[in-house]
Structure 1
Amino acid sequence: MSDRYTDIQKRAAYDLIDGIMRIQQDTGVYRHLTCGAPASWTRLTVITWPYNLLVAGSHGSFHFERQGDDTLDMLDWLRRVRVDPAHWAGKLTNGRHSVEEYDRDRLEGLIHERVSEAVRDDWAPVGLREAVSELLADDWMDDQQSAMRLVGEFQHGMTYRSECSCGAFEDHRSYTSAVCWGNVFHKQSGDDHKVTVHETGGFTFDDVFDWQISKLDYHFVYQCYALKWAIARYDRMNRYGLGSLAAPKQVTS
């Protein structure tokens, strides 16, 4: 379990320590459970029906659906598994993406990892760390799309070679210069003078758009732990015959 998940688990446990559960409905797999924690003002609602579960309250609403032989009663499934927000997110009706958010810390970690690899393997251009520090200081790094564009376009210490099919070549520090050499300075006619340009050195970030730079929303993770708490409290109340005490009082005229 990550430190972040541990902290959220502790927060949920603290908020719900004085939680009072009410069983609004308890008919087979049809349930409606509510909870209020006076000290933290935390509210929690759990509703189940075949293959479905809704958890709602102070930290948002999340609807799970899981079709399977063991999920007619969603509580039975959840009782058998540990809290796993990353796995549970895949069971949301709105999809995992609905509870993902940009994780700048993870992006910076991947950037530093690749820079360290270049330095360790002794192919990092001079001044790479300084150039990357300037990149990370850019305010646009706070926005995911802008950050990915900046990282994807980052280049440092690039070198290029213009090479002609006749055997002539020249090295350059810019792509524009390399192209100009072929189009202007080495302009020749005929099939024997075909110029190509290729990179010979420098640093870029590869496969940037394959990087995983998201994390699960705080409130979703919180509700996962709150849900596990609610199931344990519901089971304990039924185990000790307290379910009827938690049922809403019938009003008679």
Structure 2
Amino acid sequence: MTTLTLEQFLDDVKHHELTIHQNNGVYRHLTFKNADDCHQSFNITTFPNHLVITGDMGTLVFSRLYDMFNFFRSDDLRINPDYWAEKIESTSYEVGIDSYSKLDMDEIKALAQEYLDDFIRDNELSEDDESVLRLKLETSVLSAEYEHEIIDRIINFGCYGFDFEDFGWEDCREYRRNYIWLCYAIVWGIKKFDELNK
């Protein structure tokens, strides 16, 4: 997994300028963009109990405190993706979780293989049965290329008493690069706003 660093984010926004469209208590509308182009531009809008970030890197709506700037403010530009993800507003958990993370396909396949190895070690199978079970895992689960495909195959897998009933595939997630970028954009944008409004 390649994670976006603060340095990479800062390089992306090094020419961005702040335009304040509205600044009325917790009612704010800010735009950050390069004067020469709109690449990776973004807006931060706040109103009571909400912060909305929109732009080239995506859209997220957060809710936690009356003034969301107090929730996100970080002079050293530290982010807290785990905790902040819990504050994302969405129509459903699945839509929300997909907005900031995705399954790590390599990790889930390695975990599925480990799960099978544990089952084989703990159960007496003939060599033929073990070979069939390993082949079925390889051609079904391990050959999957997409998130929905591997989840469906794990849920429906069964052979010689082996299944993935207690399999924790939900833990095989990684943050999307755009989500981390948006987290940095929020703390950086608030810091820029604070510098102009001391």
* TM-score bucket (shorter structure): 0.7 to 0.9
Cα 1:124/1:136, change in 2 over 3 Å:
farther
Q: Given the two structures, how large is their TM-score scaled by the length of structure 2?
A: 0.74
* 1:88 pairs with one of 84, 88, 102: 84
Cα 1:98/1:220, change in 2 over 3 Å:
farther
Q: Does 1:237 align with 2:184?
A: no
For the Cα contact (< 8 Å) 2:141–2:153, is it kept in 1?
Answer: no
Q: Does 1:154 align with 2:122?
A: no
- Which whole-Å CA distance do the structure 2 matches of 1:138 and 1:229 have between them? 41
- Which whole-Å CA distance do the structure 1 matches of 2:142 and 2:154 have between them? 12
- Which whole-Å CA distance do the structure 2 matches of 1:17 and 1:207 have between them? 47
- Which whole-Å CA distance do the structure 2 matches of 1:84 and 1:52 have between them? 17
Stretches of structure 1 lacking an aligned partner (at least 5 in a row): 159-201, 240-253
2:164 maps to 205
Secondary structure in structure 2 of the residue aligned to 1:236: helix
- Which whole-Å CA distance do the structure 1 matches of 2:23 and 2:111 have between them? 48
Q: CA RMSD in A?
A: 3.0
1:38-94 Cα distance to aligned partner (Å, 9 max, x none): 47722111111222111111112222222xxxx222111212694222322222221
Secondary structure in structure 1 of the residue aligned to 2:4: helix
Stretches of structure 2 lacking an aligned partner (at least 5 in a row): none
Share of identical aligned residues, percent?
24
For the Cα contact (< 8 Å) 1:118–1:124, is it kept in 2?
Answer: no
Q: Given the two structures, how large is their TM-score scaled by the length of structure 1?
A: 0.60
1:109 maps to 110
Aligned length: 184
- Which whole-Å CA distance do the structure 2 matches of 1:105 and 1:137 have between them? 9
For the Cα contact (< 8 Å) 2:21–2:31, is it kept in 1?
Answer: yes
Structure richer in strand, relative to its length: 1
- Which whole-Å CA distance do the structure 2 matches of 1:113 and 1:133 have between them? 13
Q: Does 1:123 align with 2:123?
A: yes
